Amino acid sequence: MNRTGVFRRFTLLVALAGLGSASAWAQTPAPAPTPQQQDIQQDKKDIRADKKDLKQDRADRNADQKDINQDKRDIRSDKKDVRQDNRDIRNDKQDVHQDNRDIRNDKKDLNQDRADRNADQRDINHDKKDLARDDAKYGANSTQAQDDRKDLHQDRVDRNHDQKDINHDKRDLNGDRTDKKEDVHDLNQDRKDRNQDVKDLHSDKKDLQNDRKDRNKDQKDMNKDKKDLHKDRADLRRDRHHK
């Protein structure tokens, strides 16, 4: 056998031996982690969990703080609305009181004008009687009859003027009653608005109280998470030092 054949056989044997050793090494099980390594792995796992919890609690705390800020803005707005409602109610009451005064004055004027109109009508009736008597006694062209006609004409003018005043008083009275009706409606509506705004204010205060409780709870959770994180980091340093 020549030298080349011997070399080839040697190379083949070496290759087969290498494959066998590699296969045996691959089938050898990995060594089990030591207790110290297990502690380190557990510490790292706890630290990751603590960071996750801390991040979530911070997000919750920040969301609660946003809710608190919004609740404060809502409360300020509700208080402003309640103050405005109270001002509107006071103004509406003043309007209603003024309407009542106007109605009373209109009724008084109407009663007075009716009394004047009735008195003028009585004067007219009396003037007619006088005119008929004087016409019969002194003649239609007599001085007495002419004076009666003048009195009758003036009383009719007064009666017509009083009737105009009565009609005007009725329009004023109807207008003031309409104003009062509208003002009373405004007053009732403003009271409803005020009551609703007060309810909103109480609700927002309650929301603020609940959001503050949630915020405080989240802050406590954050503080606990920080303590847990510090403790787990200290455990990791200790386990690494004792490794």
pLDDT tier at 27 (50, 70, 90 boundaries)? low
Rg of the chain over all Cα atoms, to the nearest angstrom: 54
pTM over 0.85: no
Roughly how many angstroms between the first and final C-alpha of the chain, as a whole number? Answer: 59
**Does residue 101 surpass a pLDDT of 60?**
yes
Structure tokens given for 147: 């004076």
Per the CB < 8 A criterion, the answer to whether 140 and 134 are in contact is: no
31-241 is a CATH 3.30.420 domain: no
Residue 179 neighbours by CB distance under 10 Å = 16
Domain boundaries, the chain: 31-241
pLDDT tens digits, 87-100: 999 999 999 999 99
pLDDT tens digits, 40-77: 888 789 889 989 988 998 999 999 999 999 999 999 99
